[in-house]
Amino acid sequence: EESLQMWDLNKRLEAYLARVKFLEEENEGLRAEIQSAKGSPAGDPWRAKYEEELRALRAALDHAFREKYTAELARDNLYEEVQHVKSRCQKEQAAREEAKKQLSASKKELEEERRAQIWLKERAVQLEKEVEALLEVHEEEKAGLDQEIASFSQSLESFRCVPVAFQPVEVEDYSKRLSEIWRGAVETYKTEVSQLERSLCQAKESLWKAAEDNQQTQLQLQHLEKDLAGLKARKEMLEESLSRQWQEQRGEAEKFQLAIEALEQEKQTLRVQIAQVLEDRQQLMHLKMSLSLEVATYRTLLEAESTRLQVPPG
């Protein structure tokens, strides 16, 4: 029975020794690979390949980030330009509203000037009619006075015997006074007519000035409308360019995101593979240690058994 146990132990020991030898050889190979990897990191083909791919992916990622930064700068510049165009459009709109207000005020002033001109024309016609009526009345009064003077002169000739009773000087004074009054009235009406003519000329000048201002305002308004149309067209073009660039940037960002996700997946895969390799190495080390302990135990048992067999019986 002891012989069978020893034979079984010998078989197991041979198997363990063969396994230990194999593991030691594999360990030596792994140690050589580790030393070669430590000594020359570029010598390992798969490591160099992965490192080269990682460098290429990092370079592509840096290039993508730089392009993204450039696109963001272009987007910010376009946004600032759009804001500038919007502010300019608002200024142009305010200027247009101001021009419309000035135009409406000029139209009101022109209407008032026209009304004043019409009133002045009517007033001038009325004054002319009044002057004509006064002239006719004056002529009639003068003719009546002439008739009265003629009748007085005839009566004076008929009554020469009593020259003291009549005073033709008073009639002449009365006619002179009437002539002076008529002259004063005529001069007053002439003064009023001249003042009305001056007012009419001033009103005409104001009317011409208002018409010129209205024409200039119309020209300025047309110019502002042309500028506004050009700015609207430029705004639409900039908005289209901005939307197109936004779409391009979104597409590039999606591509970059997909590339980054692929890189992350590959990174995770590499991490899993490296962890698996490390775990395999760790398991091999543990197996080696356990086998070494078992070999040491069997050696101890064998030495004890050999010692027991070599000792002679007491």
Over residues 179-206, the pLDDT tens digits come to 777 777 778 777 877 887 787 788 778 7
Evaluate whether residue 173 is within a structural domain: no
- Quick: pLDDT tens for 101-118: 888 888 888 888 788 878
Q: Is the pLDDT of residue 164 over 50?
A: no
Evaluate whether residue 164 is within a structural domain: no
When pLDDT is averaged across residues 217-242 and rounded to a whole number, the result is 84
Evaluate whether residue 306 is within a structural domain: yes
Q: What is the pTM of this model?
A: 0.32
Evaluate whether residue 88 is within a structural domain: yes
Min mean pLDDT across 165-174, 244-253, 293-302 is at 165-174
The domain in which residue 60 lies consists of: 5-37+47-157+178-310
Evaluate whether residue 239 is within a structural domain: yes
When pLDDT is averaged across residues 30-35 and rounded to a whole number, the result is 80
Q: How many domains does the chain have?
A: 1
- Quick: pLDDT tens for 116-158: 878 877 877 887 788 788 778 777 877 777 777 777 666 655 5
DSSP per-residue codes, the chain: -HHHHHHHHHHHHHHHHHHHHHHHHHHHHHHHHHHHHHH-TTT-HHHHHHHHHHHHHHHHHHHHHHHHHHHHHHHHHHHHHHHHHHHHHHHHHHHHHHHHHHHHHHHHHHHHHHHHHHHHHHHHHHHHHHHHHHHHHHHHHHHHHHHHHHHHHHHHHHT-S-GGG--HHHHHHHHHHHHHHHHHHHHHHHHHHHHHHHHHHHHHHHHHHHHHHHHHHHHHHHHHHHHHHHHHHHHHHHHHHHHHHHHHHHHHHHHHHHHHHHHHHHHHHHHHHHHHHHHHHHHHHHHHHHHHHHHHHHHHHHHHHHHHHHSPP-
Evaluate whether residue 291 is within a structural domain: yes
Evaluate whether residue 166 is within a structural domain: no
Evaluate whether residue 167 is within a structural domain: no
- pLDDT of 167 reads 47
Q: Is the pLDDT of residue 5 over 80?
A: no
- pLDDT of 222 reads 85
When pLDDT is averaged across residues 176-180 and rounded to a whole number, the result is 74
